[in-house]
Amino acid sequence: MLSVLLNLICTGYHGKPSLSAWPSHIVPLGQRVELQCDSPSDYYTFKLYKELGNPIPPIQERPFQKKFVFGPVTSEHAGTYRCYGLNYHYAIKISANSDPVKIIISGIYRKPFLLALQPPLVDLGEKVTLECRSEIMFDTFILTSHKTGTIKDSFELSAEYHPGGSQANFSVGPVTPDDAGTYTCYGSYNHSPYEWSESSDPIDIKITGLYKKPSLSSLMGPVVMSGENMTLSCVSDLQFDMFHLSRKGVPKEYGLPSILNHNRTFQANFHLGPVVQAGYYRCYGSFRNSSHLWSTPSDPLYLPVTGIYRKPFLLALQPPLVDLGEKVTLECRSEIMFDIFILTSYKNGTIKDSFKLSAEHHRWNLKAKFSIGPVTPDHAGTYKCYGSYNHSPYEWSYSSDPIDIKIT
């Protein structure tokens, strides 16, 4: 015993051990946490102690070998912990204290709500704001980012108060690939900073613009009748593992694995339906080992949905047998106060071209006159028209009855 003490006096403590918490230093109320003390030296025994708050006797007094599990946790377990090494035979402290580990107990209060104030698909170099809000008057909000299931970073902001409760806006960016991941937020009070609310529901932030864009097309034509099914195909010459589809900047909940085509391209087909909402779609590619890092988006595919309003009427103001080089005028009219009329031409059952004109008032009707020509053989085909509004330009009426234009 004396020789051990003399050795410590002469040589001082050994290097400090390292303390870590698994699976996380944020522990939900009632769960368990494992604290692990590691040392480069051959310490066989460690002790753990709590720096701040009320001590917990079973933790403070009991030596352990490398790992210590405690729980089910209560608010009493919240605080700052350190560990140190003991001489195996004499239970004498022979190392410096480890760096501290903060054990946060979550689930003490009701969860806040986390909102992305911009779409959660963020272009490389852009910013996104995440708003954490609650009806509880918290002092502080904490935003945490997760990658592969573990907490990567945390950020704190003082709460701002409003009549409905409290909130904090976290600005993330200009984003880099390191900012991609899953985000949650918590609320807390200044008098008990290690006691947090339940976590908010998560938000996934995907960073786009990392790889070359794929292409997106509709396999069933560029217009879909309300209530019908639609298939969109995303294709790339890069060997992506997954393809993803977004509508109006919001990603669908699922991606699809890519399939190798005979021409050495990679593809996924997204089956939509019954389609009831118009909008524009984009697709993206990603790799399995970086699922939150997506390619540059495809060019937008605008998908009008028809059958929302009553059909207009389409008239040919000249006979529909048109001499080569002459002109023909097609008039689309309706008693509905449309803002826009759209004329489409079909060949072999698929839309070849579409043209838009603002509606003109004419007595009790609205109309638009589409001048076609001087005609070439390419103008021959079937024509239909639709009505729509400026505030929802991809929601179209039923189609008019068709008119066949023949070139003589």
Tens-place pLDDT, residues 53-94: 677 766 666 777 778 888 799 999 999 999 888 776 656 777
Check if the beta carbon of residue 331 is closer than 8 Å to that of residue 317. yes
**Strand ranges for 288-327 from DSSP E:** 290-294, 301-303, 305-306, 313-316, 321-322
CATH number, span 2-104? 2.60.40.10
Q: In what order do the strands lie in the sheet with 165-172?
A: 113-116, 128-134, 165-172, 160-162
Amino acid 323: pLDDT: 87
Amino acid 55: pLDDT: 73
The residue extents of the domains of the chain are 2-104, 113-208, 215-303, 307-407
Note down pLDDT in tens along the chain; length 408 residues: 444 444 444 434 567 888 999 999 999 999 999 999 888 776 668 888 888 767 776 666 677 777 888 879 999 999 999 988 877 665 677 788 899 999 999 999 999 999 999 888 999 999 999 999 999 999 999 999 987 667 778 899 999 999 989 999 999 989 999 999 999 999 999 999 999 999 999 999 999 999 999 999 988 778 888 888 889 999 999 999 999 999 888 888 789 999 999 899 999 999 987 887 788 899 999 999 899 999 999 999 988 999 999 999 999 988 878 889 999 999 999 999 999 999 998 877 677 788 999 988 877 778 999 999 899 998 988 999 999 999 999 999 999 999 999 998
Amino acid 335: pLDDT: 92
Please give the structure tokens belonging to residue 94.
């022979």
3-state secondary structure of 179: helix
Please give the structure tokens belonging to residue 9.
């006096």
Fold match, 113-208 / 307-407: yes
pTM of the predicted model over 0.75:
yes
Residues 6+ apart with CB under 8 A from 87: 4, 45, 93, 94
CATH number, span 113-208? 2.60.40.10
The class level of CATH for 307-407 reads: mainly beta
Please give the structure tokens belonging to residue 247.
């509508």
Please give the structure tokens belonging to residue 130.
């995440």
Return the ∠ at Cα 145 (arms to 144 and 151), rounded to 5°: 85
**What average pLDDT is seen over the chain?**
88
CA distance linking residue 54 with residue 78, whole number of Å: 9
Please give the structure tokens belonging to residue 177.
């690939």
b/e burial code for range 201-232 (CB count within 10 A of at least 16 → b):
eebebbbbbbbebbebebeeeebbbbebebeb
Please give the structure tokens belonging to residue 290.
């970086």
CA distance linking residue 106 with residue 254, whole number of Å: 29
Name the CATH code of domain 215-303 (choices 2.60.40.10, 3.90.180.10, 3.40.50.620, 3.90.1490.10): 2.60.40.10
For the chain, the maximum distance between any two Cα atoms, rounded to a whole number of angstroms, is 117
Amino acid 277: pLDDT: 76
CA distance linking residue 9 with residue 2, whole number of Å: 11
